[in-house]
Amino acid sequence: MIADKQLQTRLIATLFLLSASILFFLAIQNYRYGLFELVYSASFLCTVFLSVSAYARFTPEAKYLSRVCLWAIVLALLLIVRDSFTYPEKVQHWVFPLGLLSYIALSHRQATLLNTLSAIILSLILFWKSGFIQALTFATIYTLLISLASTYAQLHQRRSRTLVALEVRDPLTGAYNYRHLEDTLNKEICRADRTGKSLSLISLTIDYFPQVHDLHGVNTTNTLLIQFSEILRAMIRAGDSDYSDSQHTSYLLLPCTPADGVLVIAERIRRTIEENNWPVVDTITVSLGCTSYVSGSKEVSASKLINDANIALIEAQKNGHNRVCHHSY
């Protein structure tokens, strides 16, 4: 995610720099023809776009970049509308690259709204100043261009969301993966420190899973893992989340849950799994390890909390499986 965001920021910086270069040449061209008002507008927008490019390229994180891009593009559109009253046929072409730029620098909703307003306003001005044919030609070309840009932007955003989901989720069970567990757990520890509320983690695994795999094969165990994950997801509360690692160990992250609360939840899960009917294997049991963190108790990290939950899980397995153990500080 971080690399993707950096790439997007650099792309925006490059495109604004390119736009500034185009505006610079437009200023020179208009100066040659004596259109000094357009020279001033192009020079001003060139300065604005250079500033946005510098901000995106050299400011660490550039957390206000979307807001800066929005104001820069709105300002450019306002200047184009103002100049279109005097030079309608000269500035109508300025809006085309700006429309394409908006779909890269802004959200899809913002870009669509701005481009729709621009198309309507500029078409009306052209109809008033240059006639119906000129306005219709502009509106048709601009609508086709923006429709293509909008379609591409939607496809790109959908693809990006799919890639993000694939990056943080286990492809078999749909649970979040282990790396995402560490990231989320670090955030939840900071939130627990800030709010003073408890945080609990459950580590659980199907008892004798290697033997089940050897006896019934890959297809059966995959089906079992999918159904197992679905049942876990159905039992957790809103705000809780489920995770899975490569060793078929599942984790349940339970914010705002003290030690006594996590024991009740873990026991309910253990009993539900034991009483459920499963395909082919009929019955399975699980061992669960729990740990809880209370703000201010001691220094803790995500890896420490996961390790404590796994220690409790190993203890549950050593004590005969199909049971719940809690690791406390």
**Range 190-202 average pLDDT:** 88
Under DSSP, the state recorded for 61 is: S
**Range 83-94 average pLDDT:** 86
Distance CA 254, CA 292 (A): 9
Distance CA 239, CA 286 (A): 23
**Range 273-282 average pLDDT:** 86
Banded model confidence at residue 2, pLDDT cuts 50, 70, 90: very low
Assess whether pLDDT exceeds 50 at residue 196.
yes
CA-atom Rg of the chain in angstroms? 29
Assess whether pLDDT exceeds 70 at residue 286.
yes
Q: How many CA atoms lie within 13 A of 121 on its CB side?
A: 16
Distance CA 272, CA 259 (A): 20
pLDDT (0 to 100) of residue 35: 86
- The vertex-114 CA angle with 110 and 118, nearest 5°, equals 170
Assess whether pLDDT exceeds 50 at residue 236.
yes
The helix/strand count (H/E) of the chain reads as: 11, 5
pTM of the model: 0.56
Q: What is the phi/psi pair of residue 204, to 5°? A: -145, 150
pLDDT (0 to 100) of residue 61: 65
pLDDT one-digit tens code per residue, 4-37 = 567 778 888 898 999 899 889 988 988 888 888 8
Assess whether pLDDT exceeds 70 at residue 62.
no
Assess whether pLDDT exceeds 70 at residue 250.
yes
pLDDT one-digit tens code per residue, 203-221 = 999 999 888 888 888 888 8
CA 212 vs CA 194, 222, 284, 314, 319: distances in Å: 44, 11, 9, 19, 20
Closest CA to 231 of 269, 283, 275: 269
Q: Where do the domains of the chain lie, and which CATH numbers do they carry?
A: 2-168 (no CATH), 178-327 (3.30.70.270)
